[in-house]
Chains A and B, each alone.
Chain A
């Protein structure tokens, strides 16, 4: 599925959160949305997921609007993992993950074998096998984040939109989650992920979109987007760039005082 934003603007009160954003996201690639706090990353992701009505412009899915496609059909093809995702009731992890199959279930129908297989795959992929029968209120923040990610993976959608899925995780599970998202891409799906960690963004994403003040400041290959000029202008930082084992890395290093 191809998600296309055209002339997308979002306004809350007098504040423009997004201005005239033109972007496209497709299958088989992982795109990182980066930018400083308040740049509009979450707002953009919510618009891409069809969760907000644009003030101007449009979001289309394979050329169809949300209205044309229908929310229920979109839900089978697009999974969304919210920032600070949380479950209100202390349900069990496996039951949380099973919620990911709700878009695929017909009214009144029970779980199919495909549903059960997808849930098992999602639990295994996120290392949640051993947590399956634990209640959510007995998990640590990182474990809970993995369980919520498993819920989104269980949808087995063509597009996965994830808002800061690694924010609460330790380094081991940060790397694990990023590898997991790469596996989702390897299976042919598309991933759009909001990230604060520029090192992870540079290493794991095929493309980056740098947002600043609601505008797209730069979009393209990580090494082009994370140029010194862009980092200085958007983040007011200087980064170290290097190469390990043939892979380029970026490491935020110093603040630059805004002149």
Chain B
């Protein structure tokens, strides 16, 4: 029997949304420099370009927005991929777009384009994700099943990983290697409003594709044949989810680097609260991802260790033991 009473869905989603907004506010309010938030707000509203106003609009706000957007993407895409593959071990990067986006960004570093203009890096990442998606479609085609999709994802991922390693291997100077490695660890530091504007349309398109697949994912939990007999066009659903994950996760990785575990752990934690229904999990998992990522990003600033801990490192260091405890609990329940 269920130990947890399942809260009403609207209440759960509402609470998570509130928590997300609260953490965004906290994220805006804290930082390394002394900063008067109310003065900055007043300056922004009155249109005065003072230093606090610039810190607010150019540093704090984009960081909070990017954190929420990236977290939402990872949580949502993780839930969608777990639903599609009917496997709790799936994560947003399972189809290979994360590695490909990382490779795209690394190639921009490697070629020296990164210094030429501000958005070169995320654009490279997005290009990488798009190439991977096209490759995936070519490999998988329209009729292929889920196993083929996973295999293609693993292949794309492995190839992108190998090319990333090759770029590091051939890197002419050690500083570039350090810079690339640090970028790969994932961070929200020094992201500007330009980054937000670049990533948001892609992410929003991806979110729409993923969030509108809820019913089909519910149907899919009964198996391919049963879902098809319930009227769901499975090849179309797969293409839709791959496109949704590629757009949103590709954009997220391109801007923030690889941040692990959010997309794996958040759907896991929230699944019992929505009665294990994959469709219901999508939105709450996105909100939960935003909450977790914002909290982690606030954490790295509060700890104050310098150089600042990379977000991907923190989520992995906190996420992995959490996964241990989850596995331990699952084993005890005999599930």
Contacts and interface: CB of A to CB of B under 8 A. Distances in A.
Chain B facing A: main interface SS: loop
B82 to A, nearest CB: 9
Contacts of A85: 222-223, 226
Nearest to A136: B276
A78 B230 CA distance: 9
Contact of B221 (A74, A87, A134): A87
A254 interface: no
A88 interface: yes
A162 B221 CA distance: 18
B308 to A, nearest CB: 39
A146 to B, nearest CB: 15
A189 interface: no
Given A99-B218, A102-B218, A89 B233 contact: no
B277 A95 contact: yes
B275 A75 contact: no
B226 A80 contact: yes
Given A85-B226, A87-B222, A134-B1, A103 B231 contact: yes
Contacts of B33: none
A105 B218 CA distance: 13
B215 interface: yes
Contacts of A135: 1-2, 276
B278 interface: yes
B86 interface: yes
B249 to A, nearest CB: 23
Interface in A69-111: 71-76, 78-82, 85-92, 95-96, 99-100, 102-103, 105
B8 to A, nearest CB: 14
Interface residues of B, number: 23
Given A79-B229, A99-B230, A86 B223 contact: yes
B105 to A, nearest CB: 35
Nearest to A103: B231
Given A49-B229, A74-B231, A75-B231, A82 B223 contact: yes
Contacts of B275: 91-92, 95
Chain A facing B: main interface SS: mixed
A72 B231 contact: yes
A51 interface: yes
A211 B230 CA distance: 27
Contacts of B230: 75, 99-100, 102-103
B223 A102 contact: no
B335 interface: yes
A126 to B, nearest CB: 16
Contacts of B86: 88-89
A80 B225 contact: yes
B271 to A, nearest CB: 7
Interface string B191-222: 00000000000000000000000010011011
A71 B221 contact: no
Interface string A138-152: 100000000010010
A46 interface: yes
A96 B276 CA distance: 11
Nearest to B271: A89
Interface of B: 1-2, 86, 215, 218-219, 221-223, 225-226, 228-233, 271, 275-278, 335
Given A85-B222, A91-B221, A103-B230, 18 more contacts: A51-B228, A71-B228, A73-B231, A75-B230, A80-B226, A80-B229, A82-B223, A82-B229, A86-B223, A89-B271, A89-B278, A90-B276, A91-B277, A95-B275, A99-B218, A99-B219, A105-B215, A135-B1
15 contacts: A51-B228, A80-B225, A80-B229, A85-B226, A86-B223, A89-B276, A89-B277, A91-B277, A95-B275, A99-B221, A99-B222, A99-B230, A102-B218, A134-B1, A135-B2
Closest 7 CB pairs of A and B: A75-B231, A80-B229, A89-B276, A72-B231, A88-B86, A88-B221, A103-B231
Interface of A: 46, 49-51, 71-76, 78-82, 85-92, 95-96, 99-100, 102-103, 105, 134-135, 137-138, 148, 151
